[in-house]
Structure 1
């Protein structure tokens, strides 16, 4: 059962990456900076899953908890990104509009010219009022549950 859970969790992160790449290249929705941040833990989880799948039963438990940590990390970033998209809190100034109060014309022009092409505080796509970042968080927390279930199951 443990190997099946590892496989499901690993394939889940791989599917999330394929979905993200599909939106980027097929759907022509380039990712913002925070979207990339959410991808890195999924890539790590895939690598961790491959290693955990290949390791003998006793040595893999630490890897399973690392997989859970990767999934929880991308889920947390997804919640943060969702909050930025919805205006609940400010995001990094490198990918949001940022304040323009008390700027000189030169500073304002510098901010405009340095602005990213894809902003983190805009929702490019929604399903059932949830953005891609929100879906990433939900699915990633489910994947973390699979990782933890795998860690607690017998090899």
Structure 2
């Protein structure tokens, strides 16, 4: 398979995962938590890198695409660990944090400013995997495609 075809597949994969995330949000009524939003940015970067990589020859941009896909995959693994209770997530989306020294007014303000969606709850799952876990699995598959594109560039 050619370098450009591999780039198209990898960038389209990230675009599809982004589209699915927005579909779950706007069509399915599942608002994203903070970690869900963090996972979107590297996919957007991978799509942009894909467009650039089609215009610029070489292996460097496909490696950037691989790094973007690996970043969102890593965030997905982190998010999955938070969902499964393996480790704590950010206090801003898991309800953690020390409130012992806060006044009533400060605590009320913190509650009112807290996000509605918790990162440590699975909003949707398929085949035993949450959205974060599916993002991780599929993103690491995209890493392999990006690396294949870079290797193809080096061989050609």
With normalisation by structure 1, the TM-score equals 0.91
Which position in structure 2 is the counterpart of 1:6?
7
User: Does 114-123 or 16-25 show the bigger shift?
Assistant: 114-123
Contact 2:125 2:131 in 1 (8 A): yes
- Structure 1 residue 101: deviation in Å? 6.4
Which position in structure 2 is the counterpart of 1:125?
124
Q: Secondary structure at the match of 1:95?
A: helix
Distance 1:2 1:115 in 2: 45
Structure 1 residue 29 corresponds to structure 2 residue 30:
yes
Which position in structure 1 is the counterpart of 2:147?
148
Which position in structure 2 is the counterpart of 1:20?
21
- Structure 1 residue 100: deviation in Å? 5.7
Q: Matches of residues 92-107 of structure 1 in structure 2 within 5 Å?
A: 92-99=90-97, 102=100, 105-107=104-106
Q: Secondary structure at the match of 1:94?
A: helix
- Structure 1 residue 112: deviation in Å? 2.1
Contact 2:43 2:72 in 1 (8 A): yes
Distance 2:7 2:133 in 1: 24
Distance 1:64 1:85 in 2: 31
Which position in structure 2 is the counterpart of 1:136?
135
Contact 2:99 2:107 in 1 (8 A): no
Distance 2:81 2:7 in 1: 30
Distance 1:100 1:6 in 2: 46
Structure 1 residue 88 corresponds to structure 2 residue 89:
no
Distance 2:105 2:81 in 1: 31
Aligned length: 152
Any stretches of 5+ residues in structure 2 without a counterpart? Answer: none
Distance 2:61 2:97 in 1: 43
